[in-house]
Chain A
Amino acid sequence: MAAMTAGSGAGGSPEATGGSTGSGGWRRPHGPLQRYYGPSTAEAAEAAPDPTDINGPHFDPEVFMTKVRSECPLGQLLSHEAALGREIRALDSDMQTLLYENYNKFISATDTIRKMKVDFRHMEAEMDDLAANMAAISASSARVSAALQDRHHRGAQLSGVQALLRKLQALVEVPGRLRCWAGTEPARALRCHARARAVLRHYRHLPSFRAIEDESHAIMADLAQRLRARLRCETLNPKELTECVEMLLQLEEPAEELSEEFLSQAGVRLEAELAALEAELPMADPLGTVTMPPPPASDILDFVDRGSSAFVGTLCQLAGSYRTLFGRDTGCLEPFTAALVARYFALLEQRLALEHGLGDTSLLVRALDRFHRRLRALLELLPTCTDAAAELVARAARERVDRYLRALQTFFLGCLGDVRQALAAPRPPGKEGPSLPDLLATLASSVLGQLKAVLAYVQLFTATDVAFASLPYFKGEFCVTAVREGLVVAFMRWLCRTVRGFADGLTERGAPAAPPALLLLLARLCLDYENSTISYILTLTDEQFPPQDSGPAVTPGPVLCAEARAAAQRLLDHYVQVQGAAVAQMLRKSVETRDWLGTVEPRNVRAVMKRVVEDITAIDVQVGQLFEEGVRRAQSSDSSRRAFSVYSSSRTPGRYAPSYTPSAPMDTHLLSNIQKLFSERIDIFSPVEFNKVSVLTGIIKISLKTLLECVRLRTLGRFGLQQVQVDGHYLQLYLWRFASDERVVQGLLDEVAASAAHRCLDPVPMEHSVVELICERG
């Protein structure tokens, strides 16, 4: 217990000094920080003083003892006591160590303080000495400066004089330098002169200065002379020219004169560029001979490239320096450039005119593009030139489109030539001729393909990467007027006109007539165009070259379709007429050359009738290749047609009978007239429809009508009549199936027979059964 008390007493006494170090040992790193950063949790705990905290400032040994005694068991008390004892010993040893460590420092501090006291006494005396010395120094310095004042003045004056003298020296040297530089480095001479000039002018009342000035003037005048001479006679590049004129300007030569001089020099230079370009163009033939000029050495792109880099570049450069030199308000630059640019345009136009063939359109487009782009540089200089350039580009484009139109036309004619050749080519025996549908397909597809290709080429002009394509002309008018109207529509129109030409004028006056198969083919082509191709092409064109709403009016598709249809109709009609005329000619010759009065009794159908049937069958096949069947007029019943020969054989004699009785000619007239009253009038050369039956009907009508008219011009004997009867029956047997209405065939053949009977001296008809027999045998 006592130990405890003593321990606590011993622990309590160092508490005042060692406690702080002890706690400092533990808490050193924290204390100052905690103080700095305000109350921490530890201080907050101290706020409520805990007398039992052995390290706290409010430690009360009594309370602690009572607390420990009352709370802890004996074992714990013992261990606690031991722990406290250990702690106290450790604290003691710590305190001793500290004491030893700091002891020396205290000693030396005390020594230092003592030494300081002695030294300060020395210092005071020295300071006094220093003050006295300083005063002496300042006094002597004042004396010295007073003594030197005079000399300093004189020195400054002297140096001023020297600077002046150096300047004078420079002035005096000016003429020499000028002379020296004028030959080699005129620019330096000019700079030198410019510097000296003002001074010289200022002091010119002094004779010596005037002499210098005069001399330098003379030199500069000489220099100006030389520069002018150089300007006049030498071919300078634009930079040199600019320099030269600039120097002359600095020499205060008259600006107006210089500007003229400059322009004329620039003109010479640019003319040379133009002449170089012109040299590439073939010479205009003075004799006017029509030999084709040789193809130009370089292509158009190259030409434009050179033109724009050489001519336009130089022009821009010169014009730019002109402006910097003479300001922009002089009025002579614009006409000057305008004239030159106009010449350039003229040259380019000549060159474009040399592009005879179709060549490479992309090349042309690129050339025009480059030309157009380069000319933008001139825009500021000459605002009108871009308009002219755009005009030129548009003209070239139109020209090209026109060429394409002509090329298309040539191509189409070439295709037609091929088709004609294929049709006319001698056919090897046993081999079929060229099939019309194949020829048609080839023709149509190649023409369409060519047209598409041309459109693709022309589209290059409106490509997005081409600068001039953004011009309003190329956006609107070019698409509509040039391409759609000028190329596509014009081609269609031309095509319709051309193929119509085969039907219209050409055949009459000597030109080789188109073969009938060609007429048929072209009729079908036109019809196809009307049905689909035209609208397809127009749609394609409108897609590739979109028209603008406000643009000029376009030819609507239906108008073209109507033209194509008219052409098709004309061709088909002409085909019918040609084929009909061919058959009719055969029939006519056969009727006219035969002696109908002296002929023998018919044994056979005449060969020409067989030929007629063969020809018409061939025509039927030909037309059937390209045109649909068409509709026949419905008969009363199907069976009647099948039983036609039987039916007609039973009917025909009954109808013929009265006309062959010579006793009653009036009856015949009456009968035939009444019959005609009720039958429709047959138009022989009338328009046909676009089908096989109609075409064949037209041809048969023409043939039979001819037969009728020819028979009427002849006088027949009995056997002549009978021969006509046989022929007529034969034709009827084989032709009815081709016609749209067999009554037409029947009616015409009836009239032939009736007319023959009229023209017969001895009208005795043949037994109908015999007629049938002969026909069947033939």
Chain B
Amino acid sequence: SDTKVMTCAAVWRMPKELESGSHESPDDSSSNTQTLELLCHLDNTAHGNMACVMWEPMGDGKKIISLADNNILLWDLQESSAKAVLSSSTALEGKGQLKFTSGRWSPHHNCTQIATANDTTVRGWDTRSMRQIYCIENAHGQLVRDLDFNPNKQYYLASCGDDCKVKFWDTRNATEPVKTLEEHSHWVWNVRYNHSHDQLILTGSSDSRVILSNMVSISSEPFGHMVDDDELSDQEDQHQEEKIKEPLQDSVIATYEEHEDSVYAVEWSSADPWLFASLSYDGRLVINRVPRALKYHILL
């Protein structure tokens, strides 16, 4: 039993001080490191290694889904999160040893859908029936590493993988990607939509780069001007300028090369939509901002 490595999952509580008092003096918090409070373990002895744990995106935070080997496990937290009860589960059956690598809980459809990745396939599941609802075979040439749902468009899904590509899918049409990005020169480990401006896509890769892309054409942002042009006929000049500025193409906004080793995690700030962090193998955490010019362009 000594020689066995097991990946487990548990529910923790963040220290109260961090939750409320973000304005405390930084030196104080660094001097005495706050510890997390263990609430409960998700018991996976019967299901295998935990690959991924997801909170329900909305709601009261009582539901958790975890992916263990080829199982999808839906947990209910009870007794003020001191106990996790397995409420339902399903297993992916098929040839060979199927293992989930990643998953994502959709914030749409009243939080009844999740998407999972195993090998090169992306699957969608309904959490009520625990049945598969769609399947994108060969979503990537090699392993799919991560998924993310567009927070504003309910059928849009981003995926990334070992073929160095980031792909955007409409889950209603699983045969062809809507868009493909090929900017990285090695495996893409993470893809994240910005929570409020879903044209901003963040990707992290083991080529040690973080890339911020602007995917206007497939975002919820109106593409082109929706204001009636006739009303503004007197402001012709201004109009001209706007038109030059307006058709912002899908493009890479910036490539961040601060990391010296593979980047394994990128995440947007949940508080400030213009802030994001990335973490690399050598332990370097880099926090960056969306370029000011782009920010104003989006806001104004």
Q: Tell me the interface secondary structure of chain A in the complex.
A: loop
**B256 close to chain A: CB less than 8 A:** no
Q: Which residues of B contact A676 (CB under 8 A)?
A: 260-261
A755 closest partner in B (C-beta): B281
Separation of A581 and B3 alpha carbons in the complex (Å)? 31
- Tell me if B4 counts as interface (CB < 8 A to partner A): yes
* Contact call B138/A598, Cβ cutoff below 8 A: no
Q: Looking at the complex, which of A81-89, A375-383, A625-633, A683-691 is the stretch in contact with chain B?
A: A683-691
Residue numbers in A under 8 Å from B206 (CB-CB): 705, 709
B141 at the interface (CB under 8 A from A): yes
How many A-B residue contacts, CB cutoff 8 Å? 43
B159 within 8 A of A: no
Q: A673-B260, A705-B186, A717-B3 are in contact. Are A510 and B282 (CB under 8 A)?
A: no
Residues of chain B with a CB closer than 8 A to A709's CB: 187, 206, 262
Residues 179-208 of B, flagged 1 when their CB comes within 8 A of A and 0 if not, give 000000111000000000000000000111
| CB of B293 within 8 Å of the partner chain | no
Question: Known interface pairs A581-B142, A685-B186. Does A673 touch B3 (Cβ–Cβ under 8 Å)?
Answer: no
Interface string of A552-583 (1 = CB under 8 A from B): 00000000000000000000000000000100
Q: Determine the distance from Cα of A685 to Cα of B162 in the docked complex, in whole angstroms.
A: 11
Q: Are B207 and A684 in contact (CB under 8 A)?
A: yes
Contact of A681 among B142, B208, B282 (CB under 8 A): B208
Interface string of A120-146 (1 = CB under 8 A from B): 000000000000000000000000000
In the complex, which residues 322-344 of chain A have their Cβ closer than 8 Å to any Cβ of chain B?
none
> Could you tell me the distance between the alpha carbons of A581 and B5 in the complex, rounded to whole angstroms?
28
Q: Which chain A positions have C-beta within 8 A of B186?
A: 684-685, 705
CB distance from B224 to the nearest CB of A (A): 29
A252 CB–B CB distance under 8 Å = no
Closest to A686 in B: B185
Judge whether A672 and B282 touch: CB under 8 Å: yes
Candidates A677, A715, A755; contact of B260 at CB < 8 Å: A677
User: Which of chain A's residues 672-703 have a Cβ closer than 8 Å to chain B?
Assistant: 672-673, 676-677, 681, 683-686
Q: Is B42 engaged at the interface, CB distance under 8 Å to the other chain?
A: no
Nearest residue, chain B, Cβ from A687: B185
Chain B residue with Cβ nearest A508: B141
B64 at the A interface (CB under 8 A): no
**Contact call B185/A509, Cβ cutoff below 8 A:** no
CB contacts (< 8 Å) of A712 on chain B: these are 262, 281
* Residue A507 interfacial (CB < 8 Å): yes
* B141:A507 contact, CB within 8 angstroms: yes
- Inside 8 A of A715's CB, which chain B residues have their CB? 5
CB of A669 within 8 Å of the partner chain: yes
Q: A668 to nearest B CB, angstroms? A: 10
Q: Which of A509, A581, A669, A685 contacts B282 (CB 8 A)?
A: A669
For the complex, what is the distance from the CA of A656 to the CA of B47, rounded to whole Å?
Answer: 39
Which A residues touch B138, using CB under 8 A? 508-510
Q: Per-position contact with A for B274-286: 1 when CB-CB < 8 Å, else 0?
A: 0000000111000
Q: Which residues of B contact A684 (CB under 8 A)?
A: 185-186, 207
A415 contacts the other chain (Cβ, under 8 Å)?
no
Considering only residues 1-31 of chain B, those with a C-beta below 8 Å from chain A are 3-5
Q: Which residues does chain A contribute within 8 Å of B141, judged by CB atoms?
A: 507-508, 581
A595 at the interface (CB under 8 A from B): yes
| Assembly CA distance A495 to B4 (angstroms) | 55
B164 in the interface, Cβ–Cβ < 8 Å?
yes
Q: Chain B residues with Cβ under 8 A from A68's Cβ?
A: none
Q: Is A597 among interface residues, defined by CB-CB distance under 8 A?
A: yes
Contact B3 A597 (CB under 8 A): yes
Bound Cα distance from A715 to B260, whole angstroms: 23
How far is it, in angstroms, between the C-alpha of A598 and the C-alpha of B4 when the chains are bound? 8
CA–CA, A717 to B206, complex, Å? 25
Most buried by A among B3, B4, B281, B282: B3
A residues in contact with B261, CB < 8 Å: 676
For B281, list chain A residues within 8 Å (CB). 712, 755
Given A595-B3, A597-B3, A597-B4, do A685 and B185 touch, yes or no (CB 8 Å)? yes
**Within 8 Å CB of B4, what residues of A?**
597-598
Chain B residue, CB-CB nearest to A510: B138
* Shortest Cβ distance from residue B96 to the other chain A in the assembled complex, whole angstroms: 12
Nearest Cβ on chain A to B205's Cβ, whole angstroms: 10
| 9 pairs of A and B residues whose beta carbons are closest in the complex | A598-B3, A684-B186, A597-B3, A676-B260, A683-B185, A715-B5, A685-B185, A684-B185, A685-B164
* Extra inter-chain contacts (10) besides given A681-B257, A709-B262, A755-B281, CB under 8 Å: A510-B138, A581-B141, A597-B5, A669-B282, A669-B283, A672-B282, A681-B208, A683-B207, A705-B186, A709-B206
**Residues of B near any A CB (own CB < 8 A):** 3-5, 138, 141-142, 164, 175, 185-187, 206-208, 257, 260-262, 281-283
12 A-B residue pairs with Cβ-Cβ distance under 8 Å, sorted by A, are: A509-B175, A595-B3, A597-B4, A597-B5, A669-B283, A676-B260, A681-B208, A684-B185, A685-B185, A709-B187, A709-B262, A712-B262
